[in-house]
Amino acid sequence: MSQFDLVLVLSDNSLLEDWIGLAMRLLPEGGEIHIRGTVEVEAGKSLSEGATPARALRDVIYAAASANPCVHDEVHVYVDYQPFMRVLDEVIQMNADLLLVQWKSPGQPIGGISAEDIFQLAPCDVVLINGDGWQGDGDVLLSLRGGPNMSLGVRVAQALAGLEDITLFHAADQRRNAPDLELVMRAVPQITRTVTAVAGITEGIIREAVGHKVIVMGASFRKPEKGSLSVNPIIENVQHQVKLPVALVRGMRQEALEFHQPNLNWQANESLSTRVDRWFAENTFHSAEFSDLRALVELKEKRGLSISLALPALNEEKTVGTVISTLKTALMDEVPLIDEMVLIDSNSSDNTVSIAQSFGIPTYVHQQILDDQVGAYHGKGEALWKSLYVTRGDIVVWVDTDITNIHPRFVYGLIGPLLKYPRVQFVKGFYARPIEVNGKLQAYGGGRVTELVARPLFNLFYPELSGVIQPLSGEYAGRREALEQIPFFTGYGVETGMLLDLHTRYGLEGIAQSDLEVRVHHNQPLVGLSKMSFAILQVFIARLESRYGVQLLDKAYRSMKLVIQDPERFALEIAEIGDVERPPILTLPAYQEKHERTN
């Protein structure tokens, strides 16, 4: 037998591909799907009556098994008065891990036996799903009274939701303290909303079911009342009153009664490489997917969100005007996607600020923001950190002002995933980066620090982030609720630190990336890239220290000898390079007061 055996039990061939697709989502790497069919013959009739339906079902299942390498090619269709008892015998013999069952109608027998009998007799995790409206991604309502089925319930909810969201409905026990649902949400970023009820549980589930495509409920071991084939009255009432598919889950290894962080290590046999590949496939978007700006505005209004665009700048008079005019015209004047646009200047000595002011947008010098309370440091990271104070949007977008081929996609390509998928907390942009050599642009020549320093370090020490194409890109967006809770490095290390800290807090699923096509800007000279690399290395080491409990930076030099090779000068020059780590801005009383937040 394989490391993980999933038995899928079907009574007909409707939605066969969808059932197999759902089984695939529940299957760890190295696992195998065994499809079994059941044909129930009415009592008093000859079992031979089941020959024709069995042949038809067997042929379809065999064709599906042959086309999918994860499906075992041994096909069985059991014909009996209680064919599911034959399935249970095989499940016991093969020591299966998960039983996924098609349930034609709530309250009705499954292969001649009741749902309660299956829960009582199956020696493995069990998932029963009735109805046929669960296929395709959609929002899922996960209803759990306690923690006994926590991990399995989350697994099933994630598999049914796909890329969409999960609402956690907690039927609380008044005798117990309220559980820490924030702990569950941090462990499962796909859970974007929680509801707690201590009374009127059935009515609460029915009310919350609106807008969801399927309900996942934990099944108990209580015996049903006489004449009932459901597992408890709440489930029975929900099934009869809500016209939605219901998935009942019962974990074999019952967990603690109290709510707790679910064990998501069910894919322990799945390689890290496979998990990264899955994330890359599911969380990599293209800006073209979000080019319908009016649809984004409708979604923004539906979500009740506001969006701020902050433009960091330092001596960008050649490009800042075009950047502002292009984005303001397309995203504020013509279509109100952006609610606020501000320039965050770093004390430019040219006309950058006056050009921005000529377009009527607010301008700030980051060294002057909160100067009397926290002081000021040089660096882009400091500007970004302080921009959270002066902006007000629920979503904050940052776009550099040195882009010479600016296009609205640099903004809507980042906003789109945040508006469409509430589980996503942060979106990085990536693009082709031509580099100018001898006056000519060469495709894909830019991003030298990314490929020579950042990505190798991510692959070495944070391989779960190895699928991020351009971790140092200057265009990204995030939810304020996420950004205000992480520290910011003040200089070159800001992108690296931000990505590492958001991953620690929200997991890989909380991060996405969007293809912004091509970005053209003025490439830095090699000495500038060397300084950038030096700072980024320090950030990596700082995070490795906290991750592994080691001390390295206290023994490291923060100064770097730079080689200066000019026609008039050949020498070594010392530069002090090291970012200051600003605390989460949510910890500042001034920020809390202005944004009506509490730490």
Which domains, from first to last, does the chain contain?
A: 5-267 (3.40.50.12370), 282-595 (3.90.550.10)
What's the helix, strand, coil split of the chain in %, to 5? 40, 20, 40
Helix (H, G, I), strand (E, B) or coil at 49: helix
pLDDT at 243 over 90: no
468 Cβ neighbours under 8 A, 6+ residues apart:
428, 458, 499, 511, 513
The model's pLDDT over 142-152, given as tens digits with 9 standing for 90+, comes to 998 777 788 89
Residue 402: per-residue pLDDT? 94
Residue 386: per-residue pLDDT? 98
Q: What's the rounded mean pLDDT across residues 447-469?
A: 88
Residue 81: per-residue pLDDT? 92
Q: What's the rounded mean pLDDT across residues 42-51?
A: 88
Tell me how far apart the alpha carbons of residues 434 and 441 are, in angstroms, rounded to a whole number: 6
Q: What's the rounded mean pLDDT across residues 550-560?
A: 70
- The model's confidence at residue 2, banded by pLDDT at 50, 70 and 90, is very low
The count of other CB atoms within 10 Å of the CB of residue 228 is: 15
Q: What's the rounded mean pLDDT across residues 126-141?
A: 88
Instruction: State the angle between helix axes of 494-506 and 380-390 in degrees (0 to 180), rounded to the nearest 10.
Output: 60
- The model's confidence at residue 229, banded by pLDDT at 50, 70 and 90, is very low
Residue 446: per-residue pLDDT? 53
Burial (0-12, 13-18, 19+ Cβ within 10 Å), 275: middle
pLDDT at 441 over 90: no
Residue 1: per-residue pLDDT? 40
Instruction: State the angle between helix axes of 293-303 and 409-420 in degrees (0 to 180), rounded to the nearest 10.
Output: 40
pLDDT at 550 over 70: no
Residue 449: per-residue pLDDT? 84
Contact 93, 66 (CB under 8 A): no
- Taking CB atoms within 8 Å and a gap of at least 24, the contacts of 361-369 are 361/324, 361/328, 362/390, 364/390, 366/312
Q: What's the rounded mean pLDDT across residues 397-403?
A: 97
DSSP secondary structure of 482-499: HHTTS-EESSTTHHHHHH
Strand order in the sheet with 511-518: 284-286, 511-518, 426-432, 476-479, 395-398, 307-313, 340-345, 363-365
Helix (H, G, I), strand (E, B) or coil at 419: helix
Q: What's the rounded mean pLDDT across residues 236-260?
A: 81
pLDDT at 373 over 80: yes
Give the Cα-Cα-Cα angle 124, 128, 130 (nearest 5 degrees).
170
Q: Which two tokens stand for residue 419?
A: 């508006």
- The model's confidence at residue 237, banded by pLDDT at 50, 70 and 90, is confident
User: Above pLDDT 90, what percent of the chain?
Assistant: 52
Residue 35: per-residue pLDDT? 94
515 Cβ neighbours under 8 A, 6+ residues apart:
284, 285, 286, 287, 413, 430, 431
The count of other CB atoms within 10 Å of the CB of residue 77 is: 23
Distances (CA, A) of 228 to 88, 112, 223, 233: 22, 15, 9, 9
What is the b/e burial string over 106-120, where b = at least 16 CB atoms within 10 angstroms of the residue's CB? beebbbbbbbbbbbe
pLDDT at 48 over 90: no
Maximum pairwise Cα distance, the chain = 104
- The model's confidence at residue 553, banded by pLDDT at 50, 70 and 90, is low
CA-based end-to-end distance of the chain: 51
pLDDT at 357 over 50: yes
- The model's confidence at residue 171, banded by pLDDT at 50, 70 and 90, is confident
What is the b/e burial string over 477-512, where b = at least 16 CB atoms within 10 angstroms of the residue's CB? bbbbebbbbbbbbbbbbbbbbbbbbbbeebbbbbbb
Q: What's the rounded mean pLDDT across residues 59-73?
A: 84
Residue 230: per-residue pLDDT? 45
Residue 227: per-residue pLDDT? 43
What is the b/e burial string over 347-374, where b = at least 16 CB atoms within 10 angstroms of the residue's CB? ebeebbbebbeeeebebbbbbebbeeeb
Query: Whole-number mean pLDDT of the chain?
Result: 87
Find the DSSP H helices in 284-359: 293-303, 320-328, 352-358
Handedness of CA 196, 198, 202, 204 (dihedral sign): negative
Phi, psi torsion values for 284, nearest 5 degrees: -105, 120
pLDDT at 510 over 60: yes
Q: Which two tokens stand for residue 500?
A: 């590492």
Q: What's the rounded mean pLDDT across residues 257-275?
A: 64
Candidate from 183-197, 285-299, 397-411, 554-568 with smallest mean pLDDT: 554-568
CA dihedral angle for residue 119, residue 120, residue 124, residue 127, rounded to 10 degrees: 0
Q: Bigger pLDDT: 415 or 503? A: 415
- The model's confidence at residue 228, banded by pLDDT at 50, 70 and 90, is very low
Whole-model pTM over 0.85: no
243 Cβ neighbours under 8 A, 6+ residues apart:
none
Residue 566: per-residue pLDDT? 82
- The model's confidence at residue 178, banded by pLDDT at 50, 70 and 90, is low
